[in-house]
Structures are given as C-alpha cells and as structure tokens.
Structure 1
Amino acid sequence: METSAIVMMVLILATIWGGLAYFVNRAYRREKREARGGSDE
C-alpha cells in the first residue's frame, strides 16, 4: 500500500469521526439542557 493512500484514509476517517463526535456532543448537550428546563445558557 502506498503511503499517500494510507494518509488519505487516515484523514478521511479522522474527518468522519470528528464530525460524528461533534454532532453527538451537540445533540447530547441540547437534550441535557432541555431536561433541566432550558435555564442553562
């Protein structure tokens, strides 16, 4: 396998996982805030 191909796969995986973690974290924080009555922030 070529080094450039490995680097590209790692970058793509990092982008996908970063986006997933960002959206999950945002949705989780919103749910937690609404569960407390929306007074946070």
Structure 2
Amino acid sequence: MIMKIKKLLKIFGLLILTGNIVNAEYIKRNGEIYYREWM
C-alpha cells in the first residue's frame, strides 16, 4: 500500500514538473498576450 502511494506521488510529481516547464515555455512565447489579458 505504502509503495503504491509513493509510486503515485512520484508520477504525480513528474507530471507537475513537466507541466510547469510546458507552462513556462507557453507564457514566454505568449507573454504579451497574457499581459494584455491581465491588465
């Protein structure tokens, strides 16, 4: 049971990391659009 939870957390952590990297790239590329939308 504990091993399963650890595995899930590891997978979840990797997904979050890759998601953050993708989001950072996206924001960099579309930075101006984001600024206009937020202002």
User: When the two structures are superposed, what TM-score results if normalisation uses the length of structure 2?
Assistant: 0.72
> What 5-or-longer segments of structure 2 have no aligned partner?
33-39
> What 5-or-longer segments of structure 1 have no aligned partner?
1-5
Once superposed, which parts of structure 1, at least 4 consecutive aligned residues long, lie more than 3 Å away?
Answer: none
How many residues end up aligned between the 2 structures?
A: 32
User: When the two structures are superposed, what TM-score results if normalisation uses the length of structure 1?
Assistant: 0.69
Greater RCO structure (CA 8 Å; 6+ sep): 2
Cα RMSD between the aligned structures?
A: 1.2
Give me the identity figure in percent: 19
Higher Cα Rg, which structure = 1
